């Protein structure tokens, strides 16, 4: 199975460089984009990460290193964004999460027929306090179809997950077979292409784990896509990666 992978921009913000690059303490902010990733070519559309829903809460929590907060232009909220590319959320069969931070999971409940694919290690270690209660309630409603906890495995023909940790215990890479080779979505283990290309780990509790995660990403993918780099839209016009 060969898929098409597309980046959909769902917002932007400024993030201080000391968060993005662990090698120096630099308070200068640089632009981040937020993305929902769309995988097409299978029987149903598949989504990776769901974009933020409640920005007020997120922006308050991150004010120290995301000055000005996340802003979304008209049409960038996930429901409108998917409508603009002709995708009905009800038709989506799987929602993969690169990790469970609020800017990535906000609209998990938009996809009422989809199975949520989450890293097992991170999900279990986040219980009971780290997984939002309303999420558990929503998932329990459609249990057990609603949730698939995965490790390093092929989840669907041509789509694999592998554990990364580093940014979050829940962080996993998503590897997708395409005509251009294996595309890997890195989530926030690599915020930018510079993290990958200059081997600079993101600021995290365990820098060795973050370095190892960068190595793993490059080993797994022919094309590795960082989680928040605006340059994704320049390197892949229209966000069309493969």
Can you give the binding site for Zn ion, defined by CB under 5 A? Answer: 103, 188
36/177 with CB nearer Zn ion: 36
Strands (E), 28-179: 29-40, 46-48, 94-96, 115-119, 147-150, 153-156, 159-163, 172-178
DSSP 8-state assignment for residue 90: G
103/109 with CB nearer Zn ion: 103
Minimal distance in Å, beta carbon 34 to Zn ion?
Answer: 7
Give the integer Cα–Cα distance in Å for 118 and 161.
9
Give the integer Cα–Cα distance in Å for 210 and 203.
8
12/40 with CB nearer Zn ion: 12
Minimal distance in Å, beta carbon 8 to Zn ion?
Answer: 15
Tokens standing for residue 221: 């993918």
| Tokens 């949730």, located at residue | 147
Answer yes or no: are the C-beta atoms of 208 and 202 closer than 8 Å.
no
Burial letters 82-120, b for 16+ CB under 10 A, else e: beeeebebeebebbbbbbbbebbbbbbbbbeebbbbbbb
Minimal distance in Å, beta carbon 32 to Zn ion?
Answer: 8
Tokens standing for residue 177: 């077979």
Minimal distance in Å, beta carbon 103 to Zn ion?
Answer: 5
Residue nearest to Zn ion (CB): 188
Minimal distance in Å, beta carbon 102 to Zn ion?
Answer: 9
Q: Measured between alpha carbons, how far apart are the two ends of the chain, in Å?
A: 13
89/227 with CB nearer Zn ion: 227
1/71 with CB nearer Zn ion: 71
103/177 with CB nearer Zn ion: 103
Looking only at the bridges linking them, the beta strands covering 46-48 and 29-40 are antiparallel
Minimal distance in Å, beta carbon 167 to Zn ion?
Answer: 8
């Amino acid at each position: 199975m060969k898929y098409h992978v597309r980046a959909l921009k769902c917002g932007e913000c400024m993030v201080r460089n000391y968060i993005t690059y662990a090698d120096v303490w630099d308070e200068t902010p640089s632009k981040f984009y937020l993305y929902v990733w769309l995988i097409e070519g299978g029987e149903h559309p598949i989504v990776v990460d769901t974009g933020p829903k409640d920005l007020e809460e997120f922006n308050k929590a991150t004010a120290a290193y995301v000055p000005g907060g996340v802003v979304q232009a008209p049409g960038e909220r996930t429901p409108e964004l998917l409508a603009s590319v002709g995708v009905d959320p009800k038709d989506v069969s799987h929602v993969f999460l690169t990790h469970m931070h609020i800017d990535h999971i906000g609209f998990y409940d938009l996809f009422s027929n989809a199975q949520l694919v989450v890293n097992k290690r991170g999900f279990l270690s986040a219980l009971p306090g780290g997984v939002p209660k309303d999420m558990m309630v929503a998932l329990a409603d459609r249990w057990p179809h609603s949730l698939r906890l995965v490790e390093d495995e092929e989840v669907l023909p041509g789509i694999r997950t592998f554990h990364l940790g580093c940014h979050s215990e829940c962080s996993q890479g998503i590897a997708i077979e395409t005509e251009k080779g294996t595309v890997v979505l890195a989530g926030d283990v690599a915020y930018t292409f510079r993290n990958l290309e200059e081997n600079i780990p993101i600021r995290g509790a365990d820098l060795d784990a973050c370095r190892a995660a960068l190595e793993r990403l490059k080993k797994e993918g022919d094309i590795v896509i960082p989680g928040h780099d605006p340059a994704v839209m320049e390197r892949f016009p229209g966000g069309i990666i493969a």
